[in-house]
A and B are shown apart, each in its own frame.
Chain A
Amino acid sequence: MELILEGIYKAIALLVTLDAEVLNITLLSLKVSGTATLISLVLGLSTGTLLALAEFPGKRLLVSIVNTGMGLPPVVVGLFVTIFLWRNGPFGFLDIMYTPTAMVIAQAIIATPIVTGITLASIQNLPANLQLQILALGATRLQMVLILIKEARLPLLAGVMAGFGGVISEVGASIMVGGNIKGYSRVLTTATVMETGRGNFDVAIALSVILLLLCFLINYVLTRIQQRERPR
C-alpha cells in the first residue's frame, strides 16, 4: 500500500514539476498513438463501410478475419513489423526500424481492425431500409455513404475510443519496433515496463497514473461529445 501511495505522490510531483523527460514521453505517446489512431480511422472507416455495404463472394470470411484482427496480439504485430522493417526485410530500405514512425505503423496495424470492425457493426446495425430511403431522397452513392457514416457517428466514436485505448496501452509492439530509446522512442508503456524491470516501482506507478489520466481525459472528451449528441 505504501508503495502505491509513494507512486501516486511521485506522479503528482512529476506532473506538478513538469518533469521534462516525463513530459517528452507523454507527448510522444500522444503523438504516436494519436497518429496511429488517425491512420486507422481513415483506413478503418473506409474499409468497414465498404465491407458493410458491398456484397461479394468471400465477404463472410473477410468479416471473420477483421473480427479476429480486433484482438490482434500486439507482440505478433511487433514481430511481423520488425521482420518487414529489418535491415534485410522487404521494407528495410526505408530505414525506419527503432523509430517513432515504426511505432506508428505497428500501432496503426493494431487499431485498424478495431475501427474497421466497429464501423462495420455500426453501419450494419442501421435500419435495413435506411440506404434505400437515402437514395430515394435523391442522394448519390457517395452522399448516401456519408449520411450513413453520420448516422452511425455515436457508435463510431466508441470505435475511436477503443482504437486509441488499444494502442496507447499496448507495449509489445512499441518496444519491439521502437526500441524504447531514451528521448527518442520511449513512450509511457515502454518506460513503465523498463522502470518496473529496474525495480523503480514508484516511477513505474507514476507513469501508469499518467497513462491512466491520459486515457481518462481523452475518453472523457470523446464521451462528452458522444453524450452531447444524445437526444434531448
Chain B
Amino acid sequence: MSNGAPPIIEVKNLTVVRGGVQVLDIPSLQLHENEVLALIGPNGAGKSTLLLAMASLIPLTSGEIRCRGEVITSDRSVLAYRRRLAMVFQEPLLFDTTVYENVAAGLKIRGMARGDVRKRVMSTLELFNMAHMADRYARKISGGEAQRTSLARAFALEPEMIFLDEPFSALDPPTRLALTEDLERILNETGTAAIMATHDQLEALRLADSVAVVNRGSIAQSGSPVEVMNRPADEFVASFVGMENIFSGKVTATGEGLLTVTVMGHPVQLHGSARAGEEAVFCVRPENITIISDQGGATSARNVFPAVINKIVSMGAYYKLHLDCGIPLVASLTLQSLSEMNLQKGQRVNASFKATSVHLIRAGSQ
C-alpha cells in the first residue's frame, strides 16, 4: 500500500512498560494513506495497548511516533495529533445525551460553529443511515445502533486516520455483518486510513489491505492478508491464522526445489530450501486438503495418504474432518461435498494435498 508515499503514521522502537513488565516492543510499524491495517492476535496480545500507544493516549516508555514525518512530542503536538485521528472502542462509550449530541461531541470540543456542526452531524448521520435517529436518547438504542453512533461520532470528525479497537466484537453476528459492510463502504467512500485491532480473521481479511499479527506485545509477522494467512512466519502465526496442520520432521531428500520431509515415518513433499538431515517445520491449510474416495479418483497431488475419518465436526457453513493417516490431519469440506461423497465416521478415504500447498515455516539444525 505504500506506493512510495510517506506514511501517515510511523512508529519507531516503541516500548511500553507497565509495572516493570514490558507490554509492548514494536521496532517499526507504518500506516499509509488510504490503507486499512488490521492488528490481529489473541486476547491479551497487546493489540489494544498498541492502538492506544499509536494514538498517543498512553505514555510511551521509549520510541517515537511520527505523523507525516513530524515527531509527536510536546503536549501541544499530542493534542494536535489527536485532533487528526478518531477512535472507536469495543464499547460504544456514548455520552448520556441524544444521538445527535453524541455525534456532535468531537466537533463541539474543537469549537466548531453551531451551524457547521449541524450540517456535519446530519450529513454523517445520513452516511450511516441514522438521520431518523438524531433525537433518540443514546442510552435507549440497541447495541448495534449505539456502535453505529460511535462510528458516526468518529467519522463526523473527518479524521485523517481512524483507530478501531475491536469495534464489533460485542455484537451479534447479523449486526456485526451489517456494520462491517457499512464500515467497508464508508472507508472506501472516504478513503480514510484505518488501524483496526481484531481477533476475527474474517473481519481482517475482508477489510484490511495489510495485516500485522501481534503476540506478546510484539509483531510476529506483517504483510498482506493472503501472505500472512498462507505463509505464516512461525508456528504461533500459523496456529493463529487457522493452520491446523502444523508438523515437524526431518528432511530426508532434496532436489529441484522439492524437499521430502519425513514425519512419523510418512514422507511429505513440499517446496522450499533446506539440507538433508535438517529439522523442518511446515504447515498445510485444512482447505488445501482434498478428500478422495478410497475407490479411486485421480489426483496430480504429490502427497496422497490413505486415511480413516476419526471425527466429523460441523462448523456451520462447512465441516471439519479429523483424519488419521499415520499423521493427524484436519481437512475442511463443504456440506455439499460431504453429502455427495456420503462420508461417515470410520470410513476409509484418501487425503491429498499438493506440494505447493505446503508452507515451510523453517528448517535448520536443531
Q: Is the CB of B89 within 8 A of A133?
A: yes
CB contacts (< 8 Å) of A95 on chain B: these are none
CB contacts (< 8 Å) of A154 on chain B: these are 96
Query: Complex Cα distance A154/B163, Å?
Result: 31
Interface segment among A97-105, A112-120, A137-145: the answer is A137-145
Is B86 in contact with chain A by the CB < 8 A criterion? yes
Query: Complex Cα distance A130/B153, Å?
Result: 14
Contacts A129-B91, A231-B139, A232-B140 given: A136-B96 contact, CB under 8 Å? Answer: no
Dominant SS at the B interface?
Answer: mixed
CB contacts (< 8 Å) of A136 on chain B: these are 55, 57, 82, 85-87, 163
Is A132 in contact with chain B by the CB < 8 A criterion? yes
Interface string of A141-158 (1 = CB under 8 A from B): 001000100110110000
CB contacts (< 8 Å) of B85 on chain A: these are 136
Is A58 in contact with chain B by the CB < 8 A criterion? no
Is A127 in contact with chain B by the CB < 8 A criterion? yes
Q: Is the CB of B140 within 8 A of A137?
A: no
- Partner of A138 from the list B52, B83, B95 (CB cut-off 8 Å) is B83
CB contacts (< 8 Å) of A135 on chain B: these are 57, 82
Is B93 in contact with chain A by the CB < 8 A criterion? yes
Question: Which chain B residues in 22-75 approach chain A with CB under 8 Å?
Answer: 52, 55, 57
Q: Is the CB of B52 within 8 A of A137?
A: no
Query: Complex Cα distance A232/B137, Å?
Result: 7
- Partner of A133 from the list B93, B140, B157 (CB cut-off 8 Å) is B93
Q: Is the CB of B93 within 8 A of A129?
A: yes
Q: Is the CB of A231 within 8 A of B137?
A: yes
Chain B residues at the A interface, C-beta cutoff of 8 Å: 52, 55, 57, 79, 82-83, 85-87, 89, 91, 93, 95-96, 105-106, 109-110, 137, 139-140, 153, 157, 163
Chain A residues at the B interface, C-beta cutoff of 8 Å: 127, 129-130, 132-133, 135-140, 143, 147, 150-151, 153-154, 229, 231-232
